[in-house]
């Protein structure tokens, strides 16, 4: 799941949620294993780090494929269970293949450096991450497989991923077509955006009407006060329990917190409606709605901030001495580095000519200002190179064969996917690709967080079956073509992988 913003609230709650994960111990035969990965693939210095991964080879039969999943922007400990319980594991089993979960560099225990300072994070970028996967595919030796796995492309690699990990899946198919046979990107926001106010459009469009109406009314009132030269800002902030929060943009970001609950929806739970929208039940006036929103934010602050610190000390992002900027051991800095240097994805209030459910005080400058404070003015670009990323990987204009794109209709990130309402119409494109938009679904619901469950909808089950059928068809077709080539040609060749980024 892509991190919604850079607030201290989300950082603290993310830490709590990680600690609360309680799963049965994964059998040791599945890992973790470690792969010697170069810290910098594009340097003559080939110092390596231990790159962590897990593998399930139980269903493998000679000729079977490898389903490879990069865990993306989170420690892979929790996702290691996908090797035994996930739609990907089920896909590998049906195909007599192997399922591998690999950790992304600078997350979990796959650390090329001892801290998250700019000195070490300078090798955390898209090209290095993709080359990690290519190097892994090329040199893989599985310790829990008692036969030798033929190299790619003889062994067909299917790269699976959701969200940012879905970006990596599509980009691997694009940049390494000789190594990656097929890809399944789910909820993949491949079109980078700097002022990404469209993130909130699906919430405004598909959220409960009464809730969205109340939310828009409160935010309109809040902005009337914040942008007014004679507005009673202190009185307004007091109604939300944040009277001492000095900066208006920090206050605006605080108020955007509950909108992140939309992305947290699953087929089994709806925290946006149950935990947030329910606060407006029974309210009829603007003042009642402001008070309801205010009481909700007060409870959020109480959970996020320590009893002995002020709200300003807790939530202020303007102080360069803040621990959020000086603590180089904070693992949340890794994704912050990626958005500061490459992707942006700054989720902001809408421009004045569009309706908004987020204060317009929350602008790209709020996000951008934090980058040099965290990493140093000369360590990060003045703006992320999001345009260059779109040019290099073609954004939602990319046309790829043997790719199955999946999105949720209500997913905020679909607004940057190849199936966005603003993306090019692909109906006449000459490509062997598949597409699915799951009705009323949010962020990579096709896997329900990748775990197999009997509670998923028929649409999700049908999509999972369609993925299997499509990949099986592609594999069978490729095998027939390979047999035909062997019978019509006696030429022999040796396949040698070469990075597309090689000079």
pLDDT digits (tens, 9 = 90+) for 257-270: 999 999 998 888 89
Residue for token digits 């892994």?
136
Q: pLDDT for 125-175, tens place per residue?
A: 999 999 999 999 999 999 999 999 999 999 999 999 999 999 999 999 999
> How confident is the model at residue 24, as a pLDDT?
65
pLDDT band at 443 (very low <50, low <70, confident <90, very high): confident
CA 245, distance to chain mean position in Å, is: 30
Structure tokens at 367: 């996000």
Answer whether 380's CB lies under 8 Å from 372's CB.
yes
**Average of per-residue pLDDT values in the chain:** 91
- pLDDT digits 0-9 by tens, 314-348: 999 999 999 999 999 999 999 999 999 999 999 99
Angstrom distance (rounded) from CA 145 to CA 208: 51
**pLDDT higher than 70, residue 454:** no
pLDDT score recorded for residue 497? 65
Confidence of residue 489 (pLDDT cuts 50, 70, 90): low
What's the confidence (pLDDT) of residue 490? 55
Q: Are 393 and 174 in contact (CB under 8 A)?
A: yes
- How far does Cα 394 stand from its chain's mean position? 18
> Hey, CA dihedral for 81, 87, 90, 96, is it positive or negative?
negative
Q: Is the pLDDT of residue 23 over 80?
A: no
With 70 as the cut, is the pLDDT of residue 20 above it?
no
Q: What is the pLDDT of residues 358-401, one digit of tens each?
A: 999 999 999 999 999 999 999 999 999 999 999 999 999 999 99
Q: Which single residue is written with the structure tokens 């830490």?
A: 15
Q: Do residues 357 and 216 touch, judged by C-beta distance below 8 A? A: yes
For residue range 88-122, what is the model confidence (pLDDT) as tens digits? 999 999 999 999 999 999 999 999 999 999 999 99
Helix axes 248-255, 286-304, angle to 10 degrees: 100
Alpha-carbon separation of residue 121 from 39, 62, 105, 152, 368 (angstroms): 10, 39, 10, 30, 18
Instruction: Report the 10 Å Cβ neighbour count for 34.
Output: 15
Determine the Cα–Cα distance for residues 67 and 331; give it in Å rounded to an integer: 28
Report pLDDT for 124: 98
Distance CA 108, CA 77 (A): 7
Q: What is the pLDDT of residue 492?
A: 55
Contact of 477 with 18, CB cutoff 8 Å: no
> Does 8 have pLDDT greater than 60?
no
Fold of 29-190+394-478: Rossmann fold (3.40.50)
pLDDT of residue 461: 84
pLDDT-derived band at 29, boundaries 50, 70, 90: very high
List the chain domain ranges.
29-190+394-478, 199-386
């Amino acid at each position: 799941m892509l991190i919604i913003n850079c607030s201290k609230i989300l950082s603290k709650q993310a830490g709590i949620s990680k600690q609360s994960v309680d799963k049965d111990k994964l059998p040791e035969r599945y890992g973790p294993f470690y792969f010697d990965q170069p810290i910098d693939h594009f340097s003559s210095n080939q110092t390596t780090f231990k790159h962590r991964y897990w593998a399930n080879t139980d269903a493998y039969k000679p000729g079977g494929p490898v389903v490879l999943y990069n865990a993306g922007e989170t420690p892979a400990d929790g996702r290691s269970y996908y090797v035994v319980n996930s739609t990907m594991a089920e896909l590998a089993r049906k195909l007599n293949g192997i399922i591998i979960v690999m950790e992304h560099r600078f997350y979990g225990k796959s650390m090329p450096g001892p801290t998250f300072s700019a000195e070490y994070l300078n090798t955390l970028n898209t090209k290095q991450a993709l080359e990690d996967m290519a190097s892994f595919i090329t040199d893989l030796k599985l310790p829990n497989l008692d036969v030798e796995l033929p190299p790619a492309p003889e062994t067909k690699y299917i790269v699976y991923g959701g969200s940012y990990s879905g970006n990596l899946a599509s980009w691997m198919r694009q940049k390494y077509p000789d190594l990656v046979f097929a890809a399944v990107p789910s909820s993949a926001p491949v079109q980078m955006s700097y002022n990404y106010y469209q993130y909130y459009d699906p919430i405004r469009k598909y959220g409960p009407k009464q809730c969205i109406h109340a939310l828009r009314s409160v935010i309109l009132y809040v902005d009337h006060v914040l942008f007014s030269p004679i507005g009673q800002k202190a009185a307004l902030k007091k109604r939300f329990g944040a009277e001492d929060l000095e900066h208006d943009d920090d206050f605006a970001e605080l108020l955007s917190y509950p909108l992140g609950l939309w992305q947290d929806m699953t087929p089994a739970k709806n925290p946006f409606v149950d935990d947030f929208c329910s606060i407006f039940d029974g309210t009829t006036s603007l003042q009642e709605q402001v008070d309801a929103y205010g009481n909700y934010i007060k409870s959020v602050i109480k959970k996020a901030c320590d009893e002995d610190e002020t709200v300003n000390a807790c939530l202020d992002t303007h102080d360069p001495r803040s621990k959020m900027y000086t603590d180089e051991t904070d693992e949340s800095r890794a994704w912050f580095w990626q958005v500061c240097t490459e992707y942006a994805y700054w989720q902001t209030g809408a421009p004045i000519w569009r309706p908004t459910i987020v204060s317009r005080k929350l602008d790209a400058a709020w996000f951008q200002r934090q980058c040099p404070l965290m990493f140093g003015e000369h360590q990060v670009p003045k703006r992320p190179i999001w345009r260059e990323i779109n040019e290099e990987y073609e954004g939602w204009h990319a046309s790829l064969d043997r790719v199955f794109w999946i999105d949720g209709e209500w997913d905020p990130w679909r607004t940057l996917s190849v199936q966005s309402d603003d993306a090019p119409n692909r109906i006449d494109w000459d490509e062997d690709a598949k597409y699915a938009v799951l009705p009323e679904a949010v962020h990579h619901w096709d896997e329900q967080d990748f775990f197999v469950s009997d509670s998923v909808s028929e649409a999700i089950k049908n999509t999972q079956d369609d993925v299997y059928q499509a990949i099986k068809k592609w594999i069978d077709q490729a095998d027939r073509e390979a047999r035909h080539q062997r019978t019509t040609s006696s030429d022999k060749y040796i396949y040698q992988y070469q990075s597309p980024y090689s000079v």
